[in-house]
Amino acid sequence: MLGLSACVSYSAAPLTPQTLAAPAVTGPLPADAGALVRIAIDHDPAVAAARASLDAAVSAQKAAKNLPPLSLTLTAEYSKDADARRPWLWGGAVGIPLDIGAKREARVTAADLAVIKARYALADAVWSSRQRLRQALSDRYFARALVAIDRTLVGQREAFAAALARRVASGEDPRGLGAQAELDASAARQTLRQAEAKAIQAEADLARALDAAPETVAGLPDIAPPPPLDNETAGALIAKTLVSRADIASAVADYDAAENDLRAAIAAQYPDITIAPGYTWERGAVKWPVNLTLNLPPLDGNRANIAQAQKARLAAGKMLEDRVKSALHDADAAAASYRADLETEAAIRTKDLSLAEALSAQTERALKAGESDRTEALAAAAALTQTRASALQAAQTASDDRLKLEDAARQPADASELSLLSQEMTK
């Protein structure tokens, strides 16, 4: 009765989709990327699920160190043949498994490895939340900047088309030029609509990353992406790939678990032993029996399970090898792509943009001096705006590939953000 009184009772914890769908963040948001990363992680359901899984693994780790459950056997016998005056026999025995040796060690080790894997899963969830937030901030920043540039370009293309239409009407230019200008203006309007759609999508992605209401995110100012990485910092990130990626560490834990399963299978070749001391009252005589129970292994000596465990260990080793090689390839590819992006952006800004600015300034001076008409100045201004859009798109590509480089290393380049993520992973 005392044991039953100490039992834990069941308590229901129902969930409804309606309550889970409500945004968690409704107040004003800070205009700081680091603070937003912390908010995103703290309100990410995937991170919360990983934390709960870790807590469950820790509880299972404690439970694995407990002794296996005991068994209680009660016996009763009635017979007048032996003694008509004392026909009853009463007895009881407590079965105590001998939880020692390799089998206990394998069980405890499996629970320890499960905790390690749960910690790596939490690290992956925290990193994914950070990446999603950083990508959303970058997409929003560049999308809104591109919308502003495209709006300017639409105005310039339409003004150029109108000016050229007047020249065509007066017979100064052929109709083909006017038609081409109209097509260019139409293309600029289509590009603007696409940019506006991307800006709306980026706003929604940011709200999703922060688990915030759309109106809450709408008031957040643009946050510029971090500056480009130098070669030394990028190289340091690549060098840390094998030691900073949680998925590689998890694959190592998987191999350790397969190794532990093999040890458990080998230990299962030997019988499990249970001793059962008891008490018997046999028609007036008191006895203290002791039983010994052997749970025998399979008839094949557990060879089939051992062979399966050996193959599973081999598969885990190959999976670890694949994970390592893929991680190194991804890091090298991301670094090469990032360097190429920086070179492209620099070329556009130093050559193309400088040339477009010089041409625009030259045509403006010629217009003021009366040496050219307005159409040439409008065409040069539109070309400059188009080049600025190209430079912005090149900067966005470089920013995206910087995030891919950090993702390949599973580590941010900024030391303060690394410290923040470490704190979130150890909560």
Rounded average pLDDT over 137-164: 94
When pLDDT is cut at 50, 70 and 90, the band that residue 32 belongs to is very high
Class of the domain covering 31-413: mainly alpha
**How many Å apart are CA 214 and CA 144, to the nearest integer?**
16
The domains of the chain are located at 31-413
Helix 303-347 crosses helix 374-409 at what angle (to 10 degrees)? Answer: 150
pTM: 0.86
Query: Is the pLDDT at 347 greater than 60, yes or no?
Result: yes
Say how many Å lie between the first and final Cα of the chain, rounded. Answer: 40
**Collapsing DSSP states into helix, strand and coil, what is residue 131?**
helix
Give residue-wise pLDDT tens across range 392-410.
999 999 999 999 999 999 9
Give residue-wise pLDDT tens across range 184-219.
999 999 999 999 999 999 999 999 999 998 888 988
Cα 334 to the chain's mean position, in Å?
Answer: 18
- Any residues with CB less than 8 A from the CB of 98 and at least 6 apart, and which? 272, 273, 274, 275
Closest CA to 21 of 295, 211, 217, 155: 211
Cβ count within 10 A of residue 220: 19
DSSP letter for each residue of 92-114 = EEEEEE---THHHHHHHHHHHHH
